[in-house]
Structure 1
């Protein structure tokens, strides 16, 4: 599932392509992907201009010039493609937007995800439960530690809870814990202040590095896109069961925590 780095990569790449563009046509191939009748959805979008693209956690918001928003959540398997044509037949994509320059934005893999047209107020209401962005200026190290101190349970469950922090999921939850040398299943009440400081620093550095490399999701946005997915071979521990730990040489282990995969090194990641 795309997380903070992947969705911010989309935001950065799409902004110069879409800002100021007018939607000429919307095609809906799967009604469950949207939140109104396909005819009404298409009619409402025709002639609307995209002002800018915003990211909130794992969501993208396309701000339209009529005050409405297109709220996108890719969920598991979702992806985007932009250009005159797509790698697959048009019918494969759940929604297709055509713009005034002849290019199109293809929304694929949205079996679990969605693209909803919402008023500004409704969009805010739908996102109001999201926790702070990992890079919110108000989320200082002290604020992070204060929020964490109010939690119980296991560390990864908190890091991937979108009400605690918005944008971190399975992959980067494990990567952050590895960078901070703490097990993902460490009990939060047992974490030392030093560990919490390391976690905050690791959160910022891991996400920054991943975003700088284009995230791990290897699905090019455009036919000439060589940036997206550049972090895939730089992930240190996630989805690397049985491989050697890049830090200590131990064997990376896969376990399950609250129904989620958990990758860690038992030799160099601690419990507190």
Structure 2
């Protein structure tokens, strides 16, 4: 599932492609991927200019000239491709937004969605999300204040979108590895030094993920050499049974709250 770095990468690349461009056509192939009548959706979106693209947590917000917002959540298996009809991947397309001869294809939206909302509705939909971990306002003091109110396993807390927005299965594992803390550890048992290391690791790992285009390896457009670059930089995620790149110990996989998690039993105490 795309997480904060993947969606930030999408945002940055799409701004170069479609910001200030007009949506010339809308194609809906799966009505369940949108939230209103397809004819009304098309009527509201078509001929509108993309005035800005923003990210909130794991969501992208395409802000239109008419003050409406296309709210995207890719969920599990969702991704996007931008290009001409001849360049598109041989995959089922749920929604297509056209910009002249080029199109933005929304793929794999079986669980994900592209919903149309006004400003008030958009704010309501995102109101339960916690702070953005990379915002300058999210200081160490604010992080410590929030984590001191939490209990239970560290992994479960990092996945809680009301605690911090945007972290999922991949980056929670990588953050814990860089901090040298087992994701199975109970927050009540964490020392202050561990919590400070966790905060620093969170910032470092997420920034590195963005810098290298996230871990999802489907290119956004033909010739896209950035997207998916973090996949080969993962230290523990999806590497069960392989040697730790730091110490050589075999990476372990465990299930916590129905979610797989990966860690090095030697590097993470």
- Do Structure 1 and Structure 2 share a fold, with TM-score over 0.5? yes
Q: Counterpart in 2 of 1:129? A: 128
Instruction: Give the whole-Å Cα distance in 1 for the aligned partners of 2:208 and 2:17.
Output: 24
> How far 1:121 moved relative to its partner?
0.7
Q: Counterpart in 2 of 1:141? A: 140
Q: Counterpart in 1 of 2:52? A: 52
In the TM superposition, 1:78-97 aligns within 5 A as: 78-85=78-85, 86-88=88-90, 92-97=92-97
Asked if the contact 1:256–1:262 (Cα under 8 Å) also holds between the matched residues in 2, the reply is yes
Asked if the contact 1:18–1:52 (Cα under 8 Å) also holds between the matched residues in 2, the reply is no
In the TM superposition, 1:143-182 aligns within 5 A as: 143-182=142-181
Instruction: Give the whole-Å Cα distance in 2 for the aligned partners of 1:179 and 1:42.
Output: 46
Instruction: Give the whole-Å Cα distance in 2 for the aligned partners of 1:203 and 1:218.
Output: 22
Q: Please report the RMSD computed on the Cα atoms of aligned residues, expressed in angstroms.
A: 0.8
Q: Counterpart in 2 of 1:120? A: 119
SS at match of 2:82: strand
In the TM superposition, 1:217-236 aligns within 5 A as: 217-236=216-235
SS at match of 2:24: strand
> How far 1:245 moved relative to its partner?
1.0
Instruction: Give the whole-Å Cα distance in 2 for the aligned partners of 1:213 and 1:96.
Output: 27
Instruction: Give the whole-Å Cα distance in 1 for the aligned partners of 2:249 and 2:90.
Output: 42
Q: Counterpart in 1 of 2:239? A: 240
Instruction: Give the whole-Å Cα distance in 2 for the aligned partners of 1:88 and 1:104.
Output: 14
Q: Deviation digits for residues 30-74 of structure 1, max 9, x if unmatched?
A: 000000111111111111100010000000000000000000000
> How far 1:236 moved relative to its partner?
0.5
Q: Deviation digits for residues 4-40 of structure 1, max 9, x if unmatched?
A: 1100000000001111100111000000000011111
SS at match of 2:173: helix
Instruction: Give the whole-Å Cα distance in 2 for the aligned partners of 1:136 and 1:5.
Output: 14
Alignment: residue pair count: 267
Q: Counterpart in 1 of 2:215? A: 216
> How far 1:142 moved relative to its partner?
1.1
SS at match of 1:71: strand
Instruction: Give the whole-Å Cα distance in 2 for the aligned partners of 1:181 and 1:143.
Output: 22
SS at match of 2:254: strand
In the TM superposition, 1:198-209 aligns within 5 A as: 198-209=197-208
In the TM superposition, structure 1's runs of 4+ consecutive aligned residues that sit over 6 Å from their partners are: none
SS at match of 1:42: helix
Q: Deviation digits for residues 142-194 of structure 1, max 9, x if unmatched?
A: 11011001000000111111000000000000000000000001100111110
> How far 1:257 moved relative to its partner?
0.3
Farther off after superposition, 15-24 or 60-69: 15-24
Instruction: Give the whole-Å Cα distance in 1 for the aligned partners of 2:31 and 2:250.
Output: 46
Farther off after superposition, 239-248 or 3-12: 239-248
SS at match of 1:261: strand
In the TM superposition, 1:101-120 aligns within 5 A as: 102-120=101-119
Instruction: Give the whole-Å Cα distance in 1 for the aligned partners of 2:13 and 2:267.
Output: 37
Unmatched tracts of structure 2, length 5 or more: none
> How far 1:246 moved relative to its partner?
1.5
SS at match of 2:142: helix
